[in-house]
Amino acid sequence: MLEPDLTRERLLCAAIDIFATHGYLGASTREICQLANVGNASIHYHFGDKRTIYRELYLRLLDDFEARMRGVGIENLSGRDALFAYFMALMRPLAEDTHVANQVYLHLREEFQPSGIVDDLQPRSLLLQFELLGELLQRELNMRKPDASLHRLVLGIHGLALIYIVKGRSIAQALPGQMDGPNWLERLATHLSYTGWGMVEHERRRRAATARKKRLQVA
């Protein structure tokens, strides 16, 4: 017989793949238990029901995501190097095995097929990205506090990676070499960091032009 903690871990590990593949509504506790190779009553014993294991799993994935993104140490980096490190951490699961990638797809399913169980947790990952990128951009643009334009810039830079996250499987099939082969993640993160930094420089010039225009109007 497996130790209780080991059984819980196997159930959570199996639940990632089942929920990512079938969504919350399409998944069954029986499938999770079968994939985990444990008794069909194990989820009831360790978690109570499907809703509870789903919420615990989602919370754990959010904790893992936060640890991964904060581990970059973006507050100690600047310029394009900071964006490179950000994109590397953001997309790292896509370069690992299918099980790890399924953690990303589970988040995507919840976005497009909300279960209603983790609505209160949904903003957490986005708020973290606003914190990390927002503070970086405030430093780079010499801003005392964020504004709506900065928020749009954060969304725009983060959005550079979304096509690879959402359509990664299709890209890998349609465009061989873009998301496979040696060092593909480093190449992609480099490209995105240059593109993102170009957006930052454009915003810097836009703000400078606006400030000059205001000074001329006052004069």
Domain boundaries along the sequence of the chain: 1-48, 58-218
Would you state the pLDDT for residue 2? 52
Task: Enumerate residues 6+ apart whose C-beta is below 8 A from 9.
Answer: none
CA distance 125 to 129: 6
- State which H helix or E strand residue 28 sits in: none
Instruction: Check whether 4 has a pLDDT greater than 70.
Output: no
CA distance 130 to 70: 12
pLDDT category, 212, cuts 50, 70, 90? confident
Would you state the pLDDT for residue 1? 45
Say if residue 2 is exposed, middle or buried (CB neighbours under 10 Å; 0-12, 13-18, 19+). Answer: middle
pLDDT category, 98, cuts 50, 70, 90? confident
* Polymer length in residues for the chain: 219
In this prediction the pTM is 0.88
Higher pLDDT, 103 or 143: 143
Domain 58-218, classified CATH 3.30.390, yes or no? no
CA distance 86 to 53: 30
CA distance 215 to 101: 51
Number of Cβ within 10 Å of residue 199's Cβ equals 15
Q: Which CATH number fits domain 1-48: 1.10.10.60, 3.20.20.300, 1.10.10.10, 1.10.3720.10?
A: 1.10.10.60
Mean pLDDT taken over the chain: 91
Would you state the pLDDT for residue 95? 87
